[in-house]
Amino acid sequence: MKHIITSLVYTLAFLSFDIVSTEGQNATRVGKLIPIFQVVTFPNLPCVGSSSRNGTCYTSEECTTRGKKFNYLRRQNGTNCNYCFLPLGGISAGSCAQGFGVCCTFSIACGATTSQNCTYLIQAATTNPTSDPCVFTICKDSADICRIRLDFTTFSIAGPVTGSVIDSNALEDNGGTVGDCLMDSFTLTSPGNQASPVICGFNTGQHMIVDASDQCHKASFDFSGTATTRQFEIKVTQYQCGDELGGPDGCLQFFTGNTGQFASFNFPTTSSTVTSTVTHLSNQCYNMCFRQEVGKCAICFNVVIEGTGATDQGSFGLSIAFTAAMADGVQDSKCSEDYLQIPGGERSATGALFAVGSIALIGHDRICGRSFGHTDTEAEGAANNEESICSK
């Protein structure tokens, strides 16, 4: 959409000139009207506001009235508006379009509905949220929206039930609730498509993307008790069909770039160690997708934090060890419970990708256990645990 800016909106002034024709002996005068105002157009592109939040470049008037208009139309159409309390317009957070527009930012609180691209879902730090459950309704901005992404700028709610490592390979038996989000929880629906898994705890810096639905999406928090401080700021981005940055259909997470790090939800990414009570969440089944960068033919994965083999864990640990005496890595059918699947996983034994002497793990694409290993005997903290698992 483009907007037209006029320097004189309400009082349009014109100057009248006489243009004289000198053809022949009889001169004629033809009156012409020439406007003295200029017309400027600009696209509604993303911008960065003074608050460091992203916004959209609009005219000042459009920024003020956009939320009001949408709220009015929904009520006029007879929609049940229990969750239709939209923001009364956006907030001007600086200029854009060479000063002809404003960087308009949008944020909503629990119970609100939005169809505005680049909207922030906000909850200030509190131990007692006023809305429980806290539900945000997210509707497509237009018919050609195919993917909706949530970036967790800040995300901290109560975590799951935790176990505890009591020796090099065993977990304390806390029953079947370890990893369950029994206090607080968050989900993102996608009617007709796969929704997000249930998550909780610390997820600052994480993101999730779902396939867009013609029905509105619900981003829902449930809280229990007042012993935990809850706080979140979540940016909602809507991607048009065919926009590569939205990621492939069915991918809950999408990563770009030649290098980077990723973690499961509720992993303490700000810590350099993994304590004995760090527990991954239950019932997490989703796809993480990685864009193939220019000139690259394979991707390799390594653990970020090496465990010592004692009560301090490394940054990989799924399911139980295969050998009772060791905190081993396990593959394939021996991964009876949880696992990470790397299609076409191969071992780079020499540090050079697929070098002579490397051991191919064709079909060995399920990885689990206490160690990110390539064979059943690789223990946590062993030197060969630093090798890569790569995929072409």
How far is 305 from 322, CA to CA, in rounded Å?
A: 21
Rounded alpha-carbon distances, angstroms, from residue 67 to 87, 112, 121, 391: 6, 11, 15, 47
Do 319 and 337 meet the contact criterion of CB atoms below 8 Å apart? yes
For residues 74 and 82, the answer to whether their CB atoms sit within 8 Å is no
206/313 same-domain check: no
- Give the pLDDT of residue 76: 46
Q: Is residue 129 located within the same domain as residue 228? A: yes
Q: Verify that 233 and 306 share a domain, yes or no.
A: no
Count of domains observed in the chain: 3
Residues 236 and 328 occupy one common structural domain: no
Which residue type is seen at 275? T
Do both 34 and 166 map to the same domain? no
Could you list the residue range(s) of the whole structural domain that residue 350 is in?
297-392
What secondary structure letter does DSSP report for 307?
Answer: -
Q: What is the CATH number of the domain that holds 223?
A: 2.60.120.290
pLDDT grade, residue 32 (50/70/90)?
low
**Amino acid at site 60:** S
- Residue 367 within a domain: yes
- pLDDT at position 124, please? 93
Residue 59 has pLDDT above 70, yes or no: yes
- Under a CB-based contact definition with an 8 Å cutoff, are residues 289 and 251 in contact? yes
pLDDT beyond 50 at 9: no
* 308 domain-assigned: yes
Whether residues 301 and 282 share a domain: the answer is no
Same domain, 282 and 314: no
pLDDT at 299 > cutoff 50: yes
**Better-scored residue on pLDDT, 317 or 233:** 233
Share of the chain above pLDDT 90, in %: 41
What is the C-alpha to C-alpha distance for residues 66 and 269, in angstroms, rounded to an integer?
Answer: 38
Residues ≥6 apart with Cβ < 8 Å to 320: 169, 171, 337, 369, 370
Sign of CA dihedral 330, 331, 336, 338: positive
Mean of per-residue pLDDT scores for the chain: 78
Q: Is residue 286 located within the same domain as residue 319?
A: no
Flag whether pLDDT at 40 surpasses 80. Answer: no
**Domain check: are 287 and 304 in the same one?**
no
Q: Which two tokens stand for residue 166?
A: 């009591």
Instruction: Based on the fold, state whether residues 355 and 253 are members of the same structural domain.
Output: no
Tell whether 246 and 348 lie within a shared domain: no
H-only helix segments in 258-304: none
Phi, psi at 20, each rounded to 5°: -95, 130
Does position 285 have pLDDT exceeding 90, yes or no?
yes
φ, ψ for residue 385 (rounded to 5)?
-75, -10
More reliable by pLDDT, 133 or 346: 133
Q: Give Cα separations from 166 to 136, 156, 315, 326, 335 (angstroms).
A: 41, 27, 17, 13, 22
Residue 227 belongs to some domain of the structure: yes
